[in-house]
């Protein structure tokens, strides 16, 4: 009987339109109350209603809900704190322009951008990442990557005709009603005389019945359109000839470069016999790389200098080498430094992921050049080690 009474009470509330904000009900049929911002649920709604308590120090709750208070985040080093954590708001960290603070991970990540057909309903900033939404009726967005909101669709005027309706990814397409190639006179029978012209009667008499007549203005428009088409055809033909010439010249240069490389390899000193009694051939470049790698492994751990104290020009050179590293670039270095794939994916969304990676790593304790050189040696990037000017001792070959 009690269960039937609870069900009857729920049906009565729904029929009267008494909506429950939490969409949850206690066993007595009472709507579960939401805890306000700045407080969390101390006891979940069940036999009785929700019991709320103010968030203690170090925790917060920024909106109404049924959950507990969340722990406050911490801004990374060198990232300014705009507002401290309070009971109703998490800490506010001011990242660089184009970045936002990822709560729970303690790092700044590149802002997301909306694709074509979407608009930003919230800009990237202190509140978090960009929030994109599909453009609704009467709005559109033609930009592929943007942080702008959807724009209002264009309305065709009375002198225009709509060719294509507005869509989320394209604006309305209108055309002037007067853009006709050929048009008949206003008189349907074709017997109207043009003032000031001689011989009209003779021309009308010689013309066969039912023949459409065109005004000089119509013929002028037709001639203009033919001229435009001719010019456009000439431009297209010129572009085709130019592209063909560039392809031919590029192929010719590649053939010449291939011949030059073949001649250079034929007379290259690589593989010369070492001046010793062993009679063993060694690749000079491989020997040099091995010497650099061995010297780096021996002495890089002794370099306790901090990466953040390097001159900006040298840091930019290292970032450029990692950005252009191809298969062994900044992503492999990040894995060697202990970053998770999810963090590397966040860095990769920005325009300079190598700079983002090294800037974030430099804020950690123990970010010395020795550790960085060791990681570079593990991913086989001696060129970047050289760019860091790490101490490397030569290895003699006996």
CA of residue 233 relative to chain centroid, distance = 37
pLDDT greater at residue 24 or residue 292: 24
> How far is it, in rounded angstroms, from Cα 79 to Cα 107?
9
> How far is it, in rounded angstroms, from Cα 370 to Cα 302?
6
Provide the pLDDT for residue 322.
85
Provide the pLDDT for residue 112.
93
84 conformational bin, left if phi > 0, alpha if psi -120 to 50, beta if neither:
beta
What are 160's strand-pairing partners? 176
4 pLDDT more than 90: no
CA dihedral sign, ordered 66, 72, 76, 79: positive
Name the band, by pLDDT with cuts 50, 70 and 90, for residue 218: low
Provide the pLDDT for residue 171.
93
Provide the pLDDT for residue 188.
44
275 pLDDT more than 90: no
pLDDT greater at residue 277 or residue 216: 216
Treating both helix axes as pointing N-terminal to C-terminal, what angle do 353-362 and 341-348 enclose, rounded to 10 degrees?
130
> How far is it, in rounded angstroms, from Cα 75 to Cα 63?
21
CA of residue 201 relative to chain centroid, distance = 71
With 0-12 CB in 10 A as exposed, 13-18 as middle and 19+ as buried, what is 95?
Answer: buried
Distances (CA, A) of 1 to 8, 33, 379: 10, 25, 72
Provide the pLDDT for residue 1.
54
Helix (H) or strand (E) holding 162: strand 160-164
Domains of the chain: 20-110 (2.10.50.10), 130-178 (no CATH), 286-388 (1.10.533.10)
pLDDT greater at residue 4 or residue 198: 4
Name the band, by pLDDT with cuts 50, 70 and 90, for residue 285: very low
82 conformational bin, left if phi > 0, alpha if psi -120 to 50, beta if neither:
alpha
Lowest mean pLDDT across 148-157, 216-225, 245-254, 260-269: 260-269
Give 295-325 as a DSSP string.
HHHHHGGG---BGGGS-HHHHHHHHHHHHT-
Highest mean pLDDT, choosing among 226-240, 302-316, 341-355: 226-240
Provide the pLDDT for residue 207.
47
The token pair that represents 216 in the structure block: 């000089």
Residue labelled with tokens 């021309």: 203
The token pair that represents 99 in the structure block: 């970045």
Lowest mean pLDDT across 17-21, 130-134, 183-187, 330-334: 183-187
166 pLDDT more than 90: yes
Q: How would you write 342-367 as a 3-class SS string?
A: HHHHHHHCCCCHHHHHHHHHHCCCCC
Provide the pLDDT for residue 331.
87
Provide the pLDDT for residue 108.
87
pTM of the predicted model as reported, rounded to 2 decimal places: 0.38
On average, the pLDDT of the chain sits at 76
Name the band, by pLDDT with cuts 50, 70 and 90, for residue 345: confident
Query: 57-106, pLDDT tens digit by residue?
Result: 889 898 888 889 999 888 888 788 888 899 888 888 988 888 988 877 77
362 pLDDT more than 50: yes
Provide the pLDDT for residue 262.
67
């Amino acid at each position: 009987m009690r269960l039937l009474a609870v069900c009857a009470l729920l049906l009565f509330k729904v029929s009267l339109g008494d909506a429950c904000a939490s969409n949850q009900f206690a066993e007595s049929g009472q709507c579960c109350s939401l805890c306000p911002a700045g407080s969390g649920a101390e006891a979940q709604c069940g036999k009785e209603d929700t019991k709320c308590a103010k968030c203690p120090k170090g925790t917060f709750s920024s909106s109404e809900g049924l959950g507990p208070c969340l722990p406050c985040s911490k801004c990374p080093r060198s990232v300014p704190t705009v507002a401290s954590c309070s009971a109703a708001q998490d800490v506010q960290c001011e990242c660089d322009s184009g970045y936002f603070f990822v709560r729970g991970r303690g790092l700044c990540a590149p802002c997301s951008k909306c694709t074509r057909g979407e608009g930003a309903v919230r800009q990237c900033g202190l509140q978090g990442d960009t929030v994109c939404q599909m453009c609704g009726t009467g709005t559109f967005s033609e930009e592929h990557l943007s942080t702008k909101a959807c724009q209002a669709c264009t309305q065709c005027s009375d002198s225009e005709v709509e060719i294509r309706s507005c869509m989320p990814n394209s604006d309305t397409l209108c055309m002037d009603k007067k853009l006709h190639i050929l048009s008949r006179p206003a008189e349907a029978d074709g017997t109207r005389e043009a003032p000031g012209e001689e011989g009209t009667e003779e021309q009308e008499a010689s013309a066969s019945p039912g023949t459409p007549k065109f005004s000089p203005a119509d013929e002028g428009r037709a001639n203009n359109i033919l001229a435009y088409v001719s010019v456009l055809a000439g431009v297209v033909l010129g572009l085709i000839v130019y592209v063909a010439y560039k392809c031919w010249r590029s192929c010719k240069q590649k053939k010449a470069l291939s011949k030059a490389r073949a001649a250079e390899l034929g007379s290259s000193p690589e593989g010369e016999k070492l001046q010793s009694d062993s009679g063993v051939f060694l690749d000079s470049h491989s020997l040099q790389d091995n010497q650099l790698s061995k010297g780096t492994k021996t002495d890089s751990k002794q370099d306790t200098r901090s990466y953040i104290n390097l001159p900006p020009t040298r840091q930019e050179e290292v970032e450029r080498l990692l950005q252009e590293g191809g298969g062994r670039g900044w992503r492999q270095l990040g894995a060697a430094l202990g970053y998770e794939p999810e963090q590397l994916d966040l860095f990769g969304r920005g325009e300079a992921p190598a700079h983002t990676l090294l800037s974030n790593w430099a804020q950690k304790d123990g970010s010395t050049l020795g550790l960085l050189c060791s990681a570079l040696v593990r991913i086989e990037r001696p060129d970047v080690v050289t760019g860091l000017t790490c101490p490397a001792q030569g290895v003699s070959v006996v």
